[in-house]
């Protein structure tokens, strides 16, 4: 029980830290006008959309009293989250060519969310 709590804190806390670090690094970079750094920014934005989808889904599940097993709404949330994360990983790897402020943070965030979406969908 205690290890599951620690794992949850590490996973969700790590996501919060990545989002904060990414946006603060991007806002302080004066040279963010190249197309390859735009790919990293797009990857980071898609990763943030995946994070928001996960948080919004959790709030929605609380509001409706939870989902049934193999609920079509939940399955569409899983598919959307997986696709968002996968697109973020691809864009992040393409944007990693350029040395911008998000070249490491963007693919890590999207990859982390991809792993979480796979875990969540696999537990269904």
Q: How far is CA 107 from CA 15, 33, 57, in A?
A: 12, 19, 22
Domain-wise residue ranges, the chain: 2-122
101-116: pLDDT as tens digits: 888 888 999 999 999 9
- Binned at pLDDT 50, 70 and 90, residue 10 comes out as confident
Helix (H) or strand (E) holding 83: helix 72-95
Q: pTM for this structure?
A: 0.83
The per-residue pLDDT for range 33-53, each reduced to its tens digit, is 666 667 888 898 999 999 999
- 92 close to 107: Cβ distance less than 8 angstroms: yes
CA dist 23 and 45 (Å) reads: 10
Asked if residue 110 lies in contact with residue 51, where contact means CB atoms within 8 angstroms, the answer is no
């Amino acid at each position: 029980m205690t290890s599951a709590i620690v794992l949850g804190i590490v996973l969700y806390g790590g996501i919060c830290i990545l989002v904060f670090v990414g946006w603060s690094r991007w806002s302080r970079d004066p040279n963010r006008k190249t197309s390859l750094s735009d790919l990293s920014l797009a990857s980071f934005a898609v990763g943030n959309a995946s994070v928001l989808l996960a948080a919004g889904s959790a709030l929605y599940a609380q509001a409706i009293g939870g989902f049934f097993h193999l609920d079509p709404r939940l399955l569409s949330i899983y598919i959307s989250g997986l696709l968002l994360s996968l697109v973020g990983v691809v864009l992040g790897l393409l944007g990693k060519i350029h040395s911008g402020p998000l070249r490491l943070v963007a693919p890590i965030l999207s990859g982390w969310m991809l792993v979480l979406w796979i875990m969540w969908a696999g537990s269904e």
